[in-house]
Amino acid sequence: MRVLAALLATTLVTGPLAGQTSDDGLRPGRRHLSAYIAGSWTKQFGPAYSSIPTQPYGMLVGRTEYVLEANERFALSFYMEVMPAILVDGVPRYHYANLWVPPAGPTIRGKVWDDPGLVFGVGATPAGMQAYVRTSERVSLFMSTSGGAAWFTRDMPVPDARQLNFLVDLGGGIRVARKTGNAFVAGVKFHHMSNGNLGRQNPGIDGNLVYAGLSRPR
């Protein structure tokens, strides 16, 4: 709590960083490439919008970011992300079978649930915004939000959902830059995956996505 209080005091009490020639990379027109690893494995804190708030999953993420506006205290950027690997655990496998519909039929071809296991996916978030507040010459706090979609190798998170899921997130974190403009980035965000009621079922997954990675200027 003392560390958090000191950080907030630094942000709110100190004036603009007058006279500093910060080279933290957050200048208008700068582009950055980032890569990070993310995972969610704990029960969702806060409000949940899906019926599966505890499903463990992880992903690899690549990002390209463009700084739109910046001054001595604040910066605003636009980013796009690709996720070449998304792994979600505990997703039921299934096989097709002819199922009898009571009381007199007919039979229909449907999906029968099997044992759960990992499912693989790829995704992209073509639209994201990130707002920074500098707390020192090299350290910035940020908030971000983005939206996109992912495709999985089978229905996710349950049979009769869809292989296609939409992604939405909202969160924040910290960026620590070096003189070269390279930076370490870490954060946590509320992350939602669902098919937008395009499937027969749409339980969705809510996660607390914790991530960390590196960023470098282009």
Give the model's pLDDT for residue 19.
38
Q: What is the mean pLDDT of each run of 10 residues along the chain (218 residues)?
A: 42 39 80 96 78 89 97 96 96 85 76 89 98 95 98 94 96 93 94 93 92 95
pTM: 0.82
Question: Domains in the chain, please, with CATH?
Answer: 33-45+53-217 (2.40.160.20)
Give the model's pLDDT for residue 69.
96
Coil/strand/helix, residue 9: helix
Give the model's pLDDT for residue 13.
38
